Structure 1
Amino acid sequence: MTRPLPAAVTGLTAVPGAVGTARLCWEAAEGAAEYVLEYRDVTAGEAWTLMPYPIGDVCYTVEQLAVGRTYEFRIVGSNSAGNGAPSNVVRVTVTRPLPAAVTGLTAVPGSGTAELCWNAADGANRYLLEHRDVTAGEAWATMPYPIDGLCYTVRQLLGGHTYELRITGSNSAGNGPPSNTVTVTPTA
């Protein structure tokens, strides 16, 4: 007597995880001894590809996915008779998370300057300076160009004016939350 093919896999879901990963889970298919993952890079226009080794569970974490790309996945139940029908298709777009908050911002006032230093923020590849002249009653403004390092000298500050300064980490996904705010009053 020939063993029947497994039933179709149902209930496939995908949840993006850490950068470059997605967690796939599905319902067990009747008659399936193991599962086969089929995937494709939609962004690159690729055809469906079979993962070269079987999966023995009903969840699997896909790794090494490229940021900015969209992938599609489906699962097929398998046994000694062959492969069953594929599951529903799920789609995942891999994004980069926003940077964490900058910590440890310090400021040392100088003559019309303020020397700022801070700790690196996870996920940040550049930093933005937000500033305001409290004495002049200004609103927060963002410096128009990014900072690459972990220290920066703010120049052209008015002596005797009080300034509030903070730093935000940034990457291709956007800006993280601002750091602690420091207050400085430069000398003339």
Structure 2
Amino acid sequence: MSPAQIEREAIRLFSEKTYPLVGMRDISDAVELLPGSLYVHITSKEDLLLKIVERGIGIYLSALTPIVESEKPAQDRIRDVISSYLRLLDANLDITKIAMFQWRYLNGENLASILELRDQIDGLFVRVVTDGIAAGEFNSVRHPHVVAISLVGLLSSTAQWYSVQGALSADDIAEQLSDIVLGGLTG
């Protein structure tokens, strides 16, 4: 039994039931280990959640950072960020549900480390919004941070209702969300 297999089953279980409703016995049953044997591979259920959340947020940071740091106009970067986010969601729905919502079950230093990662994601959105305002592409707003965090919330919430088998593809949804967001920023 590898740690990757344990993590994969934990992702499935946390996504289906949520972290608080999954016990170590559920995880050990899923990977066909005795509960005590599971601790040979992981230190705790919270440590497992931490690793999953870090990995999930890391997927988004790795993909979105180069887009935001590009020299493209801010309007193009917003479209690209939204499109990339929705494609990542499509490919990583279960881990996204955990990374974007279940981090709240972490405590102490684990929570603090995740809040730092979340701040990095927020910072990417703040940057592209403030760049757009500075370049005159977007309307001036009193609090660009509020606009950026609202955009993060909008995208994060898609994990709660998006379905891979849904009538709209990730690209269709991204296009509609981009039009709405840019309409608000430029209208």
- Normalised-by-shorter TM-score class: under 0.3
Larger radius of gyration: 1
**Higher RCO structure, 1 or 2 (CA under 8 Å, sep 6+):** 2
Q: Which has the higher helix share?
A: 2
Q: Which has the higher strand share?
A: 1
TM-score by length of 1: 0.23
